[in-house]
Amino acid sequence: MAVFVDKEANQFLIHAELIASAHMLSETVERMAKNITTVLAGQYPLVLCVMSGAVVFSGQLLPLLHFPLDFDYLHPTRYNHMLQGGVIEWKVLPPAHLKGRVVLVLDDVLDEGFTLAAIRQRIMEEGAKAFYSAVLVDKVIGKTKPISADFIGMSLPDRYIFGYGMDIKGLWRNLPAIFALKE
């Protein structure tokens, strides 16, 4: 099992192209933290990490937000180790304590936008006072999306990306930079 996984994982790396370096990502997250602080400092927001892909982004961003906030997570998934999205499955619903709160959702990638739109709908239905979203990557897909993010780290072409929390068939969320498979 481990040998097979190692082989598959190494094949992904051999065919990977660096898209955003660790240095570039750290500058991007710093800039986002400044913009988020300008808008949300003093509002005691509830910050929600969209598991699993936003785990690294959230972990890097949170220590740069120097104002009082609450932190929790939710977990929808619609890719489930596939390279194409399907139906949204809620592995963990948004927390119940968001009524009347200003909510900031952190997601790794806004692709077709179905996941973030479903998250916003659910959170507003649960009684949040305001909804903000920050995405590390906004993909340029040449189609109108059902939602746009309030804070965007970088725009990238429409290629499947992995690393920095994002998986390729479940693997390589632990890479410190963002990669895509060579075309």
- Binding stretches for ligand PRP (CB under 6 A): 50-53, 77-79, 85, 107-115, 167
Instruction: Using CB under 6 A, pick the residue from 48, 166, 175, 178 that binds ligand GUN.
Output: 166
State yes or no: residue 131 binds ligand GUN (CB under 6 A).
no
Looking at this protein, which amino acid is placed at residue 75? H
Instruction: Mention every residue, 6+ apart, whose C-beta is less than 8 A from residue 94.
Output: 48, 74, 119, 122, 123, 126
State yes or no: residue 161 binds ligand GUN (CB under 6 A).
yes
Burial 85-123 (b: 16+ CB within 10 A, else e): eeeeeeeeebbeebeebbbbbbbbbbbbbbbbbbbbebb
State yes or no: residue 136 binds ligand GUN (CB under 6 A).
no
Angle at Cα 128 formed by Cα 36 and Cα 113, nearest 5°?
65
State yes or no: residue 79 binds ligand GUN (CB under 6 A).
yes
Q: Find which of ligand PRP, ligand GUN, none residue 178 binds, CB within 5 to 8 Å per kind.
A: none
State yes or no: residue 160 binds ligand GUN (CB under 6 A).
yes
106 token code pair: 């952190």
State yes or no: residue 167 binds ligand GUN (CB under 6 A).
yes
Instruction: Report the Cα 96 to chain-centroid distance in Å.
Output: 21
Instruction: Using CB under 6 A, pick the residue from 16, 61, 111, 138 that binds ligand GUN.
Output: 111
Q: Which residues bind ligand GUN (CB under 6 A)?
A: 53, 79, 109, 111, 160-162, 166-167
